[in-house]
Structure 1
Amino acid sequence: MKKLILGLSAICLIAFTSCKENAAKKIEASNLAEAAERDANASKFPVIEFDKTEHDFGEIEAKKSVSTIFKYKNTGDAPLVITEIKSSCGCTVPQDWSREPLAPGASGEFSVKFNGSGTNKVSKTITVTANTEKGKETVKISAFVKPDPNAKKPAVKS
């Protein structure tokens, strides 16, 4: 048993000491420059800046479709990529945004249609998923939906 332990110890000692190379000799200057540039770019994010973050349609008729446009600009240091725009419900439909990267300083827009469902004060949130530092940005729409005059009124029991 002693010979076995002594033999394994000798093999381990040879394995650990024979693999000793100076790691500093393996570093190349070109790799250092690339790594420094990559690290500097990793801290740069696009920044999405909206011309407005809320839009109020005011008073609208029930079931009347209305729309607005949200304009935005990339004020960051990296290309902006919007991967998804979705609303808090199916009655609000965001559409017409570019899925191509938006260069720093460039502008874009998307439209939002609201179908006029609901009653009284209605507020909806639109979430923009992008490669910004936060990852998600929000804008809001609101409207006061007047009651539908053609809607059937519940019968009053006397």
Structure 2
Amino acid sequence: MRSPLIFFIISILAQLHSLGQIPLLHTRSVNFGKVPKDTTLTYTFHYTNVGTSTYQLYDLSVDCGCTQAHLEDKPIPPKEKDSFTLSINTEGMDSYIRKEATLIDNSGFSQTVSIEATITNAPITDSSRIIDENKKPFLLFDHTEKELIYNKEGLLTTTFRYTNTGKETLFIDELKSACYCLNVQWSKQTVESGDIGELTITVHPDDFPGFEHYFTVKSNHINGKQLLKLTMPL
């Protein structure tokens, strides 16, 4: 007789086998920071169908009547990209806000995106003003966590790849780490819209601080800085 564990494993494998269409969101959450009151916030979320079957986004379920979703109901073949836009009318709101929208699609997953902002009391002269963060540079890493591997010299190394998915030029200022042992090499620190760059990190095994280590990349990215993680090989 099969154990409950075997049934569980078979169930999981069956579910994974059925996932033919998977949307990979380039961004799940965006923070506009401080914005004037009575402002309309607009952001376009991009995604890629990384599955093997056609993906279709039917609708977005929003948690507030102040949020409007804009999308085109169309099939997205594997490896193709598409986007949808959320607009939030902040009229009458104050302090910190976070509004969410859940994707309604054929993937079988439940995925949610969000927009955050802090509303200030400073009025604006044009109440129809729209803040569109898609025009700003956006630093998108292929991974936020990487395992170090040994190179031919016996040093630990790994490479993060990144893309500027925004419309303006991205300027990477620096990498901040509590450990000065990291040797950092950027393929480019000025990244035009759509361009790809690489960040290679090398460190001596004896100098690496523990099993894992976090560091911060500072840039003119929409949120200012991003946290990345390094781990030792098992």
Q: Any stretches of 5+ residues in structure 2 without a counterpart?
A: 1-16, 125-234
Residue 93 (structure 1) aligns with: 68
Q: Do residues 110 (structure 1) and 77 (structure 2) align?
A: no
| Bigger CA radius of gyration | 1
Higher strand share: 2
Q: Which moved more, 1:85-94 or 1:99-108?
A: 85-94
What is the CA distance between 1:81 and its match in structure 2?
A: 1.0
C-alpha offsets along residues 44-64 of structure 1, whole Å, 9 cap, x if unaligned? 420011111001111111111
Do residues 65 (structure 1) and 25 (structure 2) align?
no
Q: 2-side partners of 1:89 and 1:60: how far apart?
A: 19
Deviations along 1:68-104, whole A, 9 cap, x unmatched? 1100110011100111112110111111x22111000
Gap regions ≥5 residues in structure 1: 1-41, 151-158
1:139 aligned onto 2:113: yes
Bigger share in helix: 1
What's the Cα RMSD here? 2.0
Q: For each residue in 1:113-148, what CA deviation from the matched residue of structure 2 results, as whole angstroms up to 9, or x when unmatched?
A: 1112421110011111111122x3110110001136
Instruction: Determine if the alignment matches structure 1 residue 83 to structure 2 residue 58.
Output: yes
**What is the rounded CA distance, in whole Å, between the counterparts of 1:84 and 1:53 in structure 2?**
16
Q: Using a 3 Å threshold, how does the CA distance of structure 1 residues 149 and 44 change in structure 2: closer, same or farther? A: closer
Identity %: 21
Q: Return the structure number with greater relative CO, CA threshold 8 A, min gap 6.
A: 1
- Secondary structure at the counterpart of residue 97 of structure 2: strand
The count of aligned residue pairs is: 108
Name which of 3, 15, 22 aligns with 1:47: 22
Distance in 2, Cα, partners of 1:149 & 1:98: 34
